[in-house]
Amino acid sequence: MIAGTSAATSGTAPRTEAQGVTVEIGGVPILLRSNDADFRAMIEQRYAGFLNPSAQPANVFRIHLHPPSAISPDEDAHVFRNDSVWRFERGDFRAEWDAKTRRGHVHQSANPYAIDTVLRITHSLVLAARSGFLVHAASAVRNGRAFLFAGASGAGKTTMASLAPEDALLLTDEISYVRRQEAGYFAFGTPFTGELAKVGENICAPIAALYLLAKGPQNRIEPVARTKAARALLSNILFFAEDPEFVELVFQSACEFIDLVPVNRLTFVPNADVWEMIG
């Protein structure tokens, strides 16, 4: 039996539940069920390090595979809510997820990008209710504390991740997973990769600082005023849904984050010396 699979039948007329793989990111297990063994194998390979077959998945998706469409996965996903049911749509997939029952289904081709986006959207919705968010930022743990490096494409997230010394454990080079715990805000590792294509470590740590990245002639760290910090953080958070309730939750979490976590501008020369200032 492959890792993370489960099967069940019920009643006199057997109804076979599709086998599945449980992917747990940020302490949130999601069971992905599919009848297609090759697709399950692809999920296991892509999310290796984040599989937890023993977890009780609160969220379950049934995945229905279809022939590939000609539409590029690069287009933006659209996310809508009708009562408790969220719909996610893009050219290469169509999904529904009920926030009350925590059950959903996905219609997609057997490409990894569709399920990756479904997972990102689902986690952003789950996190919103738990005072957390996904943010465009690389993150790493050093000396037991997490550091986030935020910025738009080209700001230096991949560069900071690739320059990280051996004692820094990379959580992600692209999408940081931020969640409020009793002791403050924590960053979790994710399998969501960027240019570095390196899956993060499946660990978490309290966030010591958020750095807003800028490349410059010398390494320098400067504090950022709260309003500017909030604007910068909010502009990097992944807001998949134009839903007032969702936006309100994430917005308030971002503001609370600014209240608790130091935010600095990190101007850096792209070489390993910059890490002497971190941690």
Partner 1 sequence: MTSKRYVRSPQVAARRLGDEIIIMSASDSTLFTLNEVAALIWEASDGSLALNEIVERDICPAYDVPADVALQDAESLAEELAAHGILRSCEECALAALESK
Residue 190 to residues 6, 36, 209, Cα–Cα distance (Å) = 24, 25, 18
Q: Is residue 226 near partner 1 by the rule CB under 8 A?
A: yes
SS3 14: coil
Q: Find, among 210, 74, 221, the residue nearest to 136 by Cα.
A: 210
Question: Mind giving me the DSSP string for 196-220?
Answer: T--PPPS-EEEEEEEEEEEE-SS-E
Residue closer to partner 1 (CB basis): 167 or 242: 242
Residue 162, Cβ neighbours under 10 Å: how many? 16
Q: Find, among 119, 123, 121, 90, the residue nearest to 107 by Cα.
A: 90
Stretch that binds partner 1, among 81-89, 99-107, 176-184, 238-246 (CB under 8 A): 238-246
Residue closer to partner 1 (CB basis): 113 or 239: 239
Residue closer to partner 1 (CB basis): 81 or 145: 81
Q: Is residue 234 near partner 1 by the rule CB under 8 A?
A: yes
- Provide, rounded to whole angstroms, the least separation between the CB of residue 133 and partner 1: 13
Among 167, 195, 242, 273, binds partner 1 (CB under 8 A): 242
How far is residue 170 CA from its own chain's centroid? 14
Residue closer to partner 1 (CB basis): 75 or 245: 245
E strand or H helix that includes residue 123:
helix 112-128
């297609």: which residue's tokens? 36
Residue closer to partner 1 (CB basis): 230 or 278: 230
Residue closer to partner 1 (CB basis): 42 or 232: 232
Among 239, 262, 264, 279, binds partner 1 (CB under 8 A): 239
- Provide, rounded to whole angstroms, the least separation between the CB of residue 240 and partner 1: 10
- Provide, rounded to whole angstroms, the least separation between the CB of residue 256 and partner 1: 9
Q: Where are the beta strands (DSSP E) in 50-144?
A: 59-65, 78-82, 85-90, 93-98, 103-108, 132-142
- Provide, rounded to whole angstroms, the least separation between the CB of residue 225 and partner 1: 8
- Provide, rounded to whole angstroms, the least separation between the CB of residue 229 and partner 1: 9
| 243-262: contacts with partner 1 (CB under 8 A) | 243-244, 247-248, 251-252, 255, 258
Residue closer to partner 1 (CB basis): 159 or 236: 236
What is the spatial order of strands in the sheet that 78-82 belongs to?
20-25, 28-33, 59-65, 103-108, 93-98, 85-90, 78-82
Binding interface with partner 1 (CB under 8 A) = 226-227, 230-231, 234-235, 239, 242-244, 247-248, 251-252, 255, 258
